[in-house]
Amino acid sequence: MIAHTYYDEDPRVRREAEALVAAGRPVHVIGLRRPGDERAGVLEGVYVRRIDVQRHQGAGVGTYLREYLAFLVRSGWAAARAHRRERFGLVQVHTVPDFLVFAALPLRMAGVPVLLDLHEAMPDFFRARFVGAANPITHRLLLLQERVSVGLATAAVTVNEAVEDRLVARGIPHDKLSIIRNSPSTSRFDPAGRPRRAFAADGTVRLVYTGALTPIYELDVLLEAMALVVERRTDLRLHLDVYGRGDSEQALRARAEELGLADAVAFHGRIPLADVPAVIAAADVGLAPTRLDGYTGLTLSTKVYEYAAMRK
């Protein structure tokens, strides 16, 4: 697998890799490397090779493009070298970006099937994420790279029917597409393995959010709603635990202070995926506030599945 992600914290990539290992298939993953990460190692039976490219969350389009291209070249080289030893039977490339599939081009030319895993509808994602850079020309270029990328792959999968329908409407053959939803690992997200918390057992309604702190998610609206509840329901105590990182974090911290929620909201930063079930189990309600636009209308957050699995 080739994935522009920190493997240990990406639930979809891990779920698929670990499912293959459980089925008796050896899996190698090539992903990003944070400072201090090992260059290579084994996690839950999956061999992980980390490339010296880091994510620049919240950066501009130019920085992202340089980051994507650097990872494409380095991961492609690493995959080609590893193929000489391992003789891979399949290469699965996870997006975004869609054009990361070109990292698998040498193996595709050698006859190895390539599966493109489309986590997002990239043209719609770009339009929502980079409003200032979105224009008809960039949109057409993104549509072109989407078609070319899927065309290079042997087959493609995506996350739901909404994205599949959008791809088909853009000219992608329906018989080339399949759906694998963002379902969590039921062995990891198993409520039976966690203490059952009675609702508001300690007199406080405990809310939890686990995920990216970016403008796509309406955490700012959530904070304003909490402030209204605190003001109007003095008999009700609320507490929100936020687990994650992103370019909106400082603004959200400041907004919580402005609204007088400093004691009611705690920002904990990123935690390992293995710890996420425990923090969900300790809450009363799991939240996934999402700003509705042309991109998010196609998505259903992994968080929703995880909360449901933990009965929150």
Question: How many residues would you count in the chain?
Answer: 312
Q: Are residues 174 and 264 in the same domain?
A: no
Same domain, 152 and 276: no
Looking at the fold, whether 167 and 72 belong to one and the same domain comes out as: yes
Specify if 106 maps to a domain.
yes
At 216 the pLDDT is 86
Helix-strand-coil split of the chain, %, nearest 5: 45, 15, 40
- Out of 179, 196, 222, pick the residue that ends a domain: 179
Give the dihedral of Cα atoms 282, 284, 288, 292; nearest 10 deg: -170
Using the predicted structure, report yes or no on whether residue 277 has a pLDDT greater than 90: yes
Structural domain includes residue 194: no
Q: Is the dihedral of CA 282, 296, 142, 168 positive or negative?
A: positive
Token pair of 15 as six digits = 């779920």
3-state secondary structure of 258: helix
Q: What is the pLDDT of residues 212-228, one digit of tens each?
A: 998 889 999 999 999 99
Q: Taking the CA atoms of the chain, what radius of gyration do you get in angstroms? A: 21
Q: Is residue 220 a contact partner of residue 255, using CB atoms and an 8 Å limit?
A: yes
The two three-digit tokens of residue 177, written as one number: 């597409």
Cβ neighbourhood burial of 211 (10 Å; 0-12, 13-18, 19+) = buried
Residue 88 in contact with residue 60, Cβ under 8 Å?
no
246 & 125 share domain: no
- The domain spanning residue 290 has which CATH number? 3.40.50.2000
44, part of any domain: yes
Give, for 85, the enclosing helix (H) or strand (E).
Answer: helix 61-86
Residues 33, 123 contacting (CB under 8 angstroms): no
| Same domain assignment for residues 225 and 169 | no
At residue 99, the 3 state secondary structure works out as helix
Same-domain pairing of 57 and 165: yes
Domain membership of residue 282 (yes or no) is yes
pLDDT mean over 277-284: 95
CA angle 184, 72, 171 (to 5 degrees): 70
| The predicted structure's pLDDT at residue 226 | 97
Residue-averaged pLDDT of the chain: 93
Looking at the structure, tell me whether residues 41 and 158 fall in a common domain.
Answer: yes
> What does DSSP say about strands 46-51 and 28-32: parallel, antiparallel, or unpaired?
parallel
Neighbouring-strand partners of residue 28: 47
pLDDT value at position 297?
82
Range of the structural domain that residue 228 is part of = 204-310
Q: Are residues 8 and 109 in the same domain?
A: yes
Q: pTM for the complete prediction?
A: 0.87
How many structural domains comprise the chain?
Answer: 2
Structure tokens at 228: 């209204």
| 125 inside domain | yes
pLDDT band at 6 (very low <50, low <70, confident <90, very high): very high
Higher pLDDT, 210 or 62: 210
